[in-house]
Structure 1
């Protein structure tokens, strides 16, 4: 049997940044060499250029959030009329959230702790919020959380692998968060 090693978030962060640094030049080459950026991609409705722009935006957004040093003002890169990342996440299906009052404590392993509070159609997301009574605590591995959020991995798979778990007073409310929060 193999040896189980501990998770070191600093080392993992450095490895992730190194992998991204290696992948970005390859992506740029692929896009520059693409004969037609307006050609259909494997993603319905998106062109090859749309996919490239999405990957670049996601890279900027998540590296700026993950670094936490404020070096990247991701919101300053938005096109006119677009709303900041946190506001976009907090924009909900008002009908789905009408009458709902739930407080989630979202703990990202090696990352931020977020308070997500839904109060009758209004959602607030606060990083490192003061203590309060939460209905449901979600503890998630960052990669699994992103894959589930972007609907690239079923939630049951993340749970079965021990990458996501729910607890607190009302853990059965965990699946509700996916219906209340917009896909990033």
Structure 2
């Protein structure tokens, strides 16, 4: 999809529009992500420097770390900003909602490359942690402050520490 259309779609997804910190984090991600495909050092190095400065500004001002190396689908809604960390190898599907304090990352220092895969239409509640090489199925809901360390089937609800899976059927 053309970058311009993705950015317009992201803007419509966030209720606060241009005043949404989630939109700005996603905007910087959308501008930065194409750098991962650039191979020419003459272009890649300046792009990298500008990208890092923009990402650090977003981290400091919005409290959202969304690396350009992660894969983010369409219409990601960062509903409440602050303390949101996404692993550089994480995959996030379409129509996902993230709330404040969410961590999508690796489970231990021994396996730094492991990262979650989040399906489409997933809702992740405030303070939730999705850790390690886990898959969260389409339409799943991760409750507030849940710590997910194993796969969540499509349509299921994950609550508690560690998260308990409650089957709800596919939604």
Q: Give the TM-score normalised by structure 2.
A: 0.30
More helix by share: 1
More strand by share: 2
Q: Give the TM-score normalised by structure 1.
A: 0.28
Larger radius of gyration: 1
Higher relative contact order (CA 8 A, sep 6+): 1
